[in-house]
């Protein structure tokens, strides 16, 4: 295999994959104002600390070299090297001053970053309530007009450049909202509203992950964040406000009847139907989402089959029970869920 062929086959995909992932879930993603401010602060801290570290190492080497020479001189001039040399005093004073200036600089940089992040709060154009549940995310786009209040789950859409206030709370235990490419971390605490303001600066898809251990399936509590242009966001929003489409095939119709009258409807809501449960993810436009089971697997027919048939095997401990559907019921339910675009 030639070098070029090897590069095409292995190295390039690896590098491209690493770069894509780096942006997908990374503090270095730089896809939000807050993340960029953090990054700037990180580079300042890294620069100052590296400078100090290199200086310490240089002085250490000089000290060790001088010690070697002083030991030799000590043989003939016992005790003289213990006296404080004026140059030593100046060096120590300079060193103490440098540390004080460095620490003061870091404090100021930290304060300025904190203030500029706080400025984004208060300018929000959009309000979203994100509620943590074991182990999924309930998402409500707030509006004074109830007909424009939108409820969805596990996939957060944000318009680029628009400050969005995300109100965070929890229905059970403490979770933590963390989309490193966009912003810092903020906890979701039962009985208490926290909030974080996010201003995305790049369109794309980013991964969020619950960052506070919240039980057996904590690792499988991720969030897909889609940042899109404002017109695209509005298009998505208007579509999501629509009730679920009516089933058109006999199989999907059978699934519709089972889902909206059977046990599924006790927990799930499907807009425009009698299914109005509020304790599980809203399914009105389930099939339009990119993932299933809080980012655990891609949305696909095969994964829907697996999930609906036996969620307890896939995500043990999850609230959704394994009902034991008959094969024909399973076919019908999946056929109906796939229509929920």
36 binds Cu ion (CB under 5 A): no
Place of tokens 């600089």: 105
188 binds Cu ion (CB under 5 A): no
Q: State the number of CA atoms in the 13 A half-sphere of 216 facing the CB.
A: 7
| Smallest distance from Cu ion to CB 189, Å | 12
210 binds Cu ion (CB under 5 A): yes
**Region binding Cu ion by CB under 5 A among candidate stretches 75-83, 112-120, 196-204, 216-224:** 216-224
- In the complex with Cu ion, the residue whose CB is nearer, 177 or 236, is 177
- In the complex with Cu ion, the residue whose CB is nearer, 214 or 337, is 214
Tell me the CA distances in angstroms from 210 to 117, 127, 166, 326, one per residue in order: 22, 20, 15, 35
- In the complex with Cu ion, the residue whose CB is nearer, 44 or 211, is 211
218 binds Cu ion (CB under 5 A): yes
**Region binding Cu ion by CB under 5 A among candidate stretches 210-218, 249-257, 263-271, 288-296:** 210-218
| Smallest distance from Cu ion to CB 210, Å | 3
Beta bridge partners of 139: 130, 152
- In the complex with Cu ion, the residue whose CB is nearer, 178 or 256, is 178
How many chain residues touch Cu ion (CB under 5 A)? 5
| Smallest distance from Cu ion to CB 214, Å | 3
- In the complex with Cu ion, the residue whose CB is nearer, 176 or 181, is 176
| Smallest distance from Cu ion to CB 296, Å | 13
Map residue 13 onto helix, strand or coil: helix
296 binds Cu ion (CB under 5 A): no
- In the complex with Cu ion, the residue whose CB is nearer, 53 or 213, is 213
| Smallest distance from Cu ion to CB 17, Å | 26
Contact 41, 109 (CB under 8 A): yes
Q: Return the DSSP state at 195.
A: E
**Region binding Cu ion by CB under 5 A among candidate stretches 169-177, 223-231, 260-268, 274-282:** 169-177
| Cα four-point dihedral sign 87, 90, 92, 95 | negative
214 binds Cu ion (CB under 5 A): yes
Contact 68, 218 (CB under 8 A): no
Distance, in Å, from the CA atom of 306 to the CA atom of 267, rounded to the nearest integer, reads: 19
> Hey, how many other C-beta atoms are within 10 angstroms of the C-beta on 171?
13
**Region binding Cu ion by CB under 5 A among candidate stretches 110-118, 122-130, 167-175, 281-289:** 167-175
Site string for Cu ion, 230-249 (x = CB under 5 A): --------------------
- In the complex with Cu ion, the residue whose CB is nearer, 132 or 159, is 132
- In the complex with Cu ion, the residue whose CB is nearer, 221 or 270, is 221
Beta bridge partners of 226: 157, 205
- In the complex with Cu ion, the residue whose CB is nearer, 214 or 325, is 214
Strand order in the sheet with 164-170: 150-153, 136-141, 126-133, 164-170, 194-198
Distance, in Å, from the CA atom of 220 to the CA atom of 281, rounded to the nearest integer, reads: 15
| Smallest distance from Cu ion to CB 36, Å | 26
Contact 175, 132 (CB under 8 A): yes
224 binds Cu ion (CB under 5 A): no
Question: ∠ CA 133-294-129 to the nearest 5 degrees?
Answer: 50
| Smallest distance from Cu ion to CB 209, Å | 8
Distance, in Å, from the CA atom of 14 to the CA atom of 96, rounded to the nearest integer, reads: 47
Map residue 161 onto helix, strand or coil: coil
Q: Provide the binding-site residues for Cu ion, judged by CB under 5 A.
A: 175, 210, 214, 218, 221
């Amino acid at each position: 295999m030639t070098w070029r062929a090897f590069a095409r086959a292995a190295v390039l995909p690896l590098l491209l994959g690493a770069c894509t992932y780096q942006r997908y879930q990374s503090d270095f993603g730089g896809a939000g104002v807050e993340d960029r401010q953090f990054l700037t602060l990180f580079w300042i801290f890294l620069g100052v600390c590296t400078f100090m570290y290199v200086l310490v190492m240089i002085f250490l080497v000089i000290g060790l070299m001088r010690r070697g020479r002083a030991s030799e001189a000590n043989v003939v001039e016992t005790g003289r090297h213990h006296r404080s040399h004026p140059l030593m005093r100046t060096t120590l004073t300079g060193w103490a001053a440098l540390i004080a200036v460095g620490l003061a600089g870091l404090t100021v940089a930290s304060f300025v970053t904190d203030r500029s992040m706080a400025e984004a709060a208060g300018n929000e154009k959009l309000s979203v309530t994100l509620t943590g549940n074991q182990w999924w995310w309930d998402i409500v786009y707030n509006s004074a007009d109830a007909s424009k209040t939108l409820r969805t789950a596990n996939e957060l859409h944000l318009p680029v450049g628009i400050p969005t206030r995300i109100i965070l709370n929890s229905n059970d235990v403490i979770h933590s909202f963390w989309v490193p490419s966009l912003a810092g971390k903020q906890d979701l605490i039962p009985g208490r509203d926290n909030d974080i303001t996010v201003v995305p600066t790049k369109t794309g898809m980013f991964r969020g992950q619950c960052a506070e251990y919240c039980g057996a399936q904590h690792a499988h509590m991720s969030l897909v964040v889609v940042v899109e242009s404002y017109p695209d966001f509005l298009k998505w929003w208007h579509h999501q406000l629509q009730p679920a489409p009516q089933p058109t095939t006999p199989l999907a119709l059978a699934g519709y009847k089972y889902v909206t009258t059977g046990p599924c409807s006790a927990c799930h809501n499907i807009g425009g139907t009698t299914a109005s449960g509020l304790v599980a993810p809203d399914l009105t436009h389930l099939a339009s989402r990119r993932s299933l089971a809080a980012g655990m697997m891609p949305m696909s027919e095969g994964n829907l089959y697996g999930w609906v048939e036996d969620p307890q095997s896939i995500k043990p401990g999850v609230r959704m029970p394994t009902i034991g559907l008959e094969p024909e019921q399973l076919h019908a339910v999946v056929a109906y869920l796939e229509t929920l675009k």
